[in-house]
Amino acid sequence: MKKILTLTAAFFVLSLVADVARGQAKEETPLPEFYGLYLVVDGKLCGLDVEANVCTLGSVEVKVGSRTGVGDALDGRALSTSVPVRATELKRGVRFLSYRENPTAYLGALRLVPMMYVRNIAVDTGWPKNVKRSGVENAWDTGNPSEMGGEWNKLNELAQPIRLLIKPLKENMVLGVPSREMTPGLYRLSFGEQVIGNEPRMYFWVGKAAEAESLKCVDASYKYAMMMSEGKFTPCSGAGASDSTAGSGDGAASAPVNGPENGSAAGPAAGPTAAEVIEVLKRATEAGLNGDKAAVEAMLDESFTYTNLGNRKTWDRATFLSKVKRDKSIKSYQCGEYDVNFEGEVAVAKSVCEFHVQNFLISMNVKQRFVDRLVKKDGGWKFLSEEMIVLPNQQRNRR
């Protein structure tokens, strides 16, 4: 089964800003005396999980929110909750310094996640009650819905974690440079399940509030199906959108653009179409099934992750490519239910594929749902990310 779960590529957009890394590398970096994780700001060290501090950073209070579960929507309770948190103020050129045993692995496990500012929220509880409600969140959203199958830790491509580019300094000491600019807004730093400073998370703030909220404001819409949630997000417009999104047929804040049988649906003038994106998905699936590693590799962005929503495991690009091989137990497959939306330059494509698997022990059908994010660059489409979850109702027969 493990091979089946990795048939199509899934990839995370992280723009590696090489010139920024090179420019910062020329600066002289202060070296710490004690093991710990530090921020390097204006040539000074600020300890994060160690008390040694030779700099002072300000802080701001911001409101952090999260969507409540489907039960709350059905019972008429609030669709979201929010709490105030303190966030450490940072400048955009901040770097991270790790001084400990195996510092590279430690920095590599850190998750620096840009958060989105959710203004309006709409919910469709789905079958059997089909309750549609809307409300206002107006908070920096954690992106952590409570239902299995939700879009964990990311509202759209702007909320993808920022990878730290590693520069060795001396024994047991490395410098981590953010792979892309930290634009105005709220950021969450965590280390897997374990947390820096024994707190659930650590927050950082960059820039001015008005600019940040305008830049990263989205209206969110969720639809439920058997305790699983599907989220759609659109940039905020001038007028409130919660009522209009809640009244749409599928509870979505944005409608599909150019479905597979609708080549004339509205979209950006002379821009990409859904049919074009669907064709790329088909080629990627075929390449994965045939074990064509070179073809798959050419379709991937330089930095990415593939996420299995069922077990919440994530692979990076190298790990994913190592799994690309032909699986002779897959006798046939069929993909469909394509739904393509455009969020700026990023295409968000949903699809469902069913694979017929047969070997000397079993014969079964496995159905999987995919959410792919792609962007057009260098004359072709590149996969930025993919999420996969196995759908129920597998048919299995022992031979």
Is 24 a member of any domain?
Answer: no
What would the pLDDT profile of 246-281 be if each residue is shown by its tens digit? Answer: 222 222 222 233 333 333 333 334 578 888 999 999
Q: Give tens-digit pLDDT for 160-184.
A: 778 889 999 999 999 999 988 888 9
Q: In terms of domains, do 213 and 301 share one?
A: no
Query: For residue 332, what are the domain limits?
Result: 4-12+256-398
Q: How far apart are CA 82 and CA 142, in angstroms?
A: 10
Q: Choose the final residue of a domain: 187, 212, 246.
A: 246
DSSP 61-118: EEEEEEEPPHHHHHTT--SEEEEEEEEEEE-TT-EEEEESSSHHHHHHHEEEEE-EEE
Answer yes or no: do 226 and 289 share one domain.
no
Residue ranges in the chain assigned as alpha helix (H): 18-25, 70-74, 103-109, 209-215, 242-246, 274-289, 293-299, 317-323
- The reported pTM is 0.53
Q: How far apart are CA 126 and CA 132, in angstroms?
A: 8
Residue with tokens 């930290």: 182
CA distance 257 to 265: 6
Q: Say yes or no: 68 and 214 in one domain.
A: yes
Q: Final residue of a domain: which of 246, 269, 290?
A: 246
Same domain as 336, residue 190: no
Does residue 224 sit in the same domain as residue 270? no
Partner residues linked to 81 by β-bridges: 66
Which residues make beta-bridge pairs with 206?
Answer: 90, 185
CB atoms near residue 263 (< 10 Å): 11
Residues in the chain, how many? 399
**pLDDT per residue as tens digits for the range 70-116:** 888 888 888 888 889 899 999 878 899 999 999 998 888 888 888 88
- Kindly state whether residues 219 and 282 are assigned to the same domain: no
Q: Is 90 exceeded by the pLDDT of residue 185?
A: yes
